[in-house]
Amino acid sequence: MSSAPEDRIRLIDTDAVPAHIAVIMDGNGRWARQRNLPRIAGHRAGIQSVREILEASVELGVGALTLYAFSTENWKRPPSEVRALMELLREYLDREIDNLDRNDIRFETLGDSSALGPVIRSELEHAVERTADNGGLRFNVALNYSGRDELLRAVNAILTQAKDDPRLLEGVTEEHISRHLYTAGLADPDLLIRTSGEWRVSNFLLWQIAYSEIWVTDTLWPDFRRPHLYDAIIAYQKRERRYGGLTPALAR
């Protein structure tokens, strides 16, 4: 691309910005290893990317940004790394909550937060409550999240409901399932970004990404900044979204 990275914003059609962007932030460990730093230094650098991508999303008018911060599988990491990640999240909330609120951002978490420590849980609850009435960008952080677990919970919740409402046993609709997901009330992501060149969805938003456009970049998450987001959106805007149907040209 010939234009300077920051100038690429001009190539974005501001009327067709994805309403919901989801991101699998990957490559923090490799970023740190390349610099002979401990893995946590990569996570720490990744926080700056979180700030920048959130800020750019607000500026561009993105409706929702969902970041995959901690999967149910991430508990398999060394306890020191898990502790450090939770501490980073706590620090982030401490520092940013005023700023999120001031910018009308609504903060929410996706996942089973009951398994998180009491301190981080109460900070998260506080942030969710404090920003609950904000009408700007919806900022969702997936924590102790698993897409399969989310679907199982939805199915089990519907089965429980069916005890009182046996009509459910005649058939469950997509709406029933969507209503029982952590993302209830949120539009599905239009664009799923994964950094660090891995072509996997890693148990993230399995139901919700059915028709998302996927953008994989080799850039490691701590290096993923505004211009990289612009590139992903520019590529998204060149895609033809067919949702399984045909475009007029193909239908002829």
The torsion region of residue 32 among left (phi > 0), alpha (psi -120 to 50) and beta comes to alpha
Q: How many angstroms separate the Cα of 41 from the Cα of each of 120, 153, 194?
A: 20, 35, 20
Where does residue 85 rank: exposed (0-12), middle (13-18), buried (19+ CB within 10 A)? buried
Query: How many residues comprise the chain?
Result: 252
106 in contact with ligand FPP (CB under 6 A): no
CB of 91 to ligand FPP, least distance (A): 9
Q: For residue 32, which phi and psi values (nearest 5 degrees)?
A: -70, -45
Q: Give me the 128-167 binding string for ligand FPP, x by CB under 6 A, dash otherwise.
A: -------------x--------------------------
Q: For residue 8, what is the DSSP state? A: G
CB of 46 to ligand FPP, least distance (A): 3
| Residue among 18, 22, 29, 66 that touches ligand FPP (CB under 6 A) | 29
Residue with tokens 């033809």: 240
Window 228 to 247, contacts with ligand FPP (CB under 6 A): none
202 in contact with ligand FPP (CB under 6 A): no
Binding span for ligand FPP by CB under 6 A among 15-23, 46-54, 101-109, 207-215: 46-54
Sites of contact with ligand FPP (CB under 6 A): 25-30, 43, 46-47, 50, 67, 69, 74, 85, 88-89, 92, 141, 196
Indicate which residues carry an active-site annotation. Answer: 26, 74
